[in-house]
C-alpha cells in the first residue's frame, strides 16, 4: 500500500456487499471492512480512515444509530460518512444527511459512480 493512499472503512453486515465494495475500490484505496457497527467502532479505536461507507440496515446497531455515536465522539466525529444502502426512500436519505453523512448512495450502485463519489468526497 502506498503511503499516500487514502483509507476507506466499509461497514456492511452482508459479505456479498462487502466484497462488491472491496472489488469496486481496491487498487485505488486501502479498504478495511467491518461486518457491523460494533466492529467498526473497534477498528476506530486504533485506525483513522479517511472515509467511512456505512450501511443502514444492520443488526444490533443500525447505520443511523452508528453515525449518531460516531458524531458524538470528539476523536472521530470529523471522519466523513457516506451511507451506502438499499434504502431508496427520500425520507431515509434526508435523515442520513441530517445526521451528518456527506453523501447517500443507494444499492445496487455502479462501481464507477461509487468511485467518482468517493473521489469527490475525499477531494482528490
Could you give the percent of the chain with pLDDT greater than 90? Answer: 94
Lookup result for grid cell 448512495: 105
Q: What is the DSSP letter of 13?
A: S
Entry pTM? 0.94
What is the rounded CA–CA span in Å between residue 123 and residue 96? 21
Q: What is the pLDDT of residue 3?
A: 55
SS3 124: coil
Omega before residue 108 within 30° of 0, cis: yes
Q: What are the chain's domains?
A: 7-122 (3.40.50.2300)
What is the rounded CA–CA span in Å between residue 119 and residue 65? 26
Is the pLDDT reported for residue 2 higher than 90? Answer: no
Amino acid at each position: 500500500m502506498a503511503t499516500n493512499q487514502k483509507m476507506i472503512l466499509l461497514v456492511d453486515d452482508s459479505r456479498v456487499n462487502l466484497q462488491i465494495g472491496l472489488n469496486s475500490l481496491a487498487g485505488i484505496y486501502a479498504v478495511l471492512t467491518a461486518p457491523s457497527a460494533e466492529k467498526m467502532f473497534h477498528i476506530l479505536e486504533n485506525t483513522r480512515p479517511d472515509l467511512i461507507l456505512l450501511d443502514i440496515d444492520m443488526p444490533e446497531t443500525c447505520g443511523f444509530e452508528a453515525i449518531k455515536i460516531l458524531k458524538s465522539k470528539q476523536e472521530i466525529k470529523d471522519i466523513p460518512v457516506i451511507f451506502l444502502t438499499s434504502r431508496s426512500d427520500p425520507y431515509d436519505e434526508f435523515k442520513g444527511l441530517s445526521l451528518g453523512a456527506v453523501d447517500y448512495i443507494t444499492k445496487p450502485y455502479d462501481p464507477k459512480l461509487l468511485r467518482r463519489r468517493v473521489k469527490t468526497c475525499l477531494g482528490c
